[in-house]
Amino acid sequence: MSVAPMLDWTDRHCRYFHRLLSRQTLLYTEMVTTGALLHGDVARHLRFNAEEHPVALQLGGSEPAELARCAALGEQWGYDEINLNCGCPSERVQRGAFGACLMAEPQLVADCVKAMVDAVSVPVTVKHRIGIDKTESYAFVRDFVGAVSEAGCSTFIVHARNAWLKGLSPKENREVPPLRYELVHQLKREFPHLTIVVNGGITNSGQVAQQLQQLDGVMVGREAYHNPWWLSDWDAAFYGAAPSGRTRETVEAQMVDYMTREMAEHGTPWYAIARHMLGLRHGLPGARRWRQVWSDHKLKALNPHDVMALAHGRQQLAA
């Protein structure tokens, strides 16, 4: 099991929260571009909490030497895996000549992967789509995986939709092109020696179990973010772990301790962290009121313990 890299969502605070829910699930950073690392604040992009392991760094780029340097940085910072983004369809990413448009250049991707594999000892993986635009032939994705695997990549995370590079927004690209899981299953049959992980449209444990009958792993994106308590079942359901006995209340209290520590050590405001746990009480009575308190910026001067007390009605806001 893994939680997908999601821009503006899976920052280190979100990953800390998800790790409280599942010990085993592989977590991913937001995509970090090579330019941001080579010309920006490395610590801001790569700092993470030791508790997050296992955690993978997703890179965006298309220049082999630059990707190799950034992969080496990722390994130095302690990441357990380096992932190359060949799936993001946004025009901003296309202008940088990376993301899903790279699928049209499998040899360039192979060169990028080889450069990264030569630079690090941790696994190098690739996340991609099943096709781009209206190209719906299985041969397209098969040839892409074949070429890139020869460069030293043995794990492919396949979002089971095409990426339409023109005419659809990134949001529409996650919803409009049809899901075609059968192509991902076909990849596994054709490349049984590779690790094939499916991504896209999976929202419950029954669907996960179904996919795991044919594939090596499942990556969940938006559902893991909006309904995070689901993650608390994964260790027992998919890794054979004993039930943890954790409750939503204990996880919330641990997050409040984390917010307090982050404020003291880095000056991080609590609401920048709390936004990631707003789905924790998804579907429960009183969840809306609880969410409103934790997202109320009028309370930002309070300490997070007081906000938690307000959220549970244990304390009233002074007039």
CATH number at residue 262: 1.20.120
Alpha-carbon separation of residue 288 from 270, 305, 309 (angstroms): 19, 19, 15
Helix (H) or strand (E) holding 114: helix 106-119
In angstroms, rounded to a whole number, what is the distance separating the alpha carbons of residues 1 and 18? 12
Domain count, the chain: 2
Whether 13 is covered by a domain: the verdict is: yes
Record the tokens describing residue 138, joined without a space.
């299985």
Through-space distance between the first and last CA atoms of the chain, rounded to whole angstroms? 47
Residue ending a domain, choose from 212, 239, 266: 239
Asked if residues 294 and 311 have their Cβ atoms less than 8 Å apart, the reply is: yes
Q: Would you say residue 318 lies in a domain?
A: no
Same domain, 200 and 290: no
The residues assigned a catalytic role are 88
Distance CA 180, CA 158 (A): 11
Asked if the structure places residue 319 within a domain, the reply is no
255 and 223, same domain (yes or no)? no
d(CA 218, CA 1): 5
- Report the C-alpha gap between 236 and 232 in whole angstroms: 8
Are the C-beta atoms of residues 124 and 82 closer than 8 Å to each other? yes
The residue length of the chain stands at: 319
For residue 272, the enclosing domain spans: 248-311
DSSP single-letter state for residue 168: -
Does pTM surpass 0.85? yes
Q: Where are the beta strands (DSSP E) in the chain?
A: 2-3, 26-33, 55-60, 81-86, 124-132, 155-163, 195-199, 217-220
Pairing of strands 2-3, 26-33: parallel
DSSP letter at 54 equals S
CA 186 to chain centre: 24
Question: Within this chain, do residues 65 and 141 fall inside the same structural domain, yes or no?
Answer: yes
Q: What are phi and psi of 291, to 5 degrees?
A: -65, -40
If DSSP codes are grouped into helix, strand and coil, which group holds residue 88? coil
Query: What string of pLDDT tens digits covers the 319 residues of the chain?
Result: 999 999 999 999 999 999 999 999 999 999 999 999 999 999 999 999 999 999 999 999 999 999 999 999 999 999 999 999 999 877 656 566 678 889 999 999 999 999 999 999 999 999 999 999 887 899 999 999 999 999 999 999 999 999 988 777 777 877 778 899 999 999 999 999 999 999 999 999 999 999 999 999 999 999 999 999 999 999 999 999 998 889 999 999 999 999 999 999 999 999 999 999 999 999 999 999 999 999 999 999 999 999 999 999 876 654 3
| Same-domain status, 7 and 98 | yes
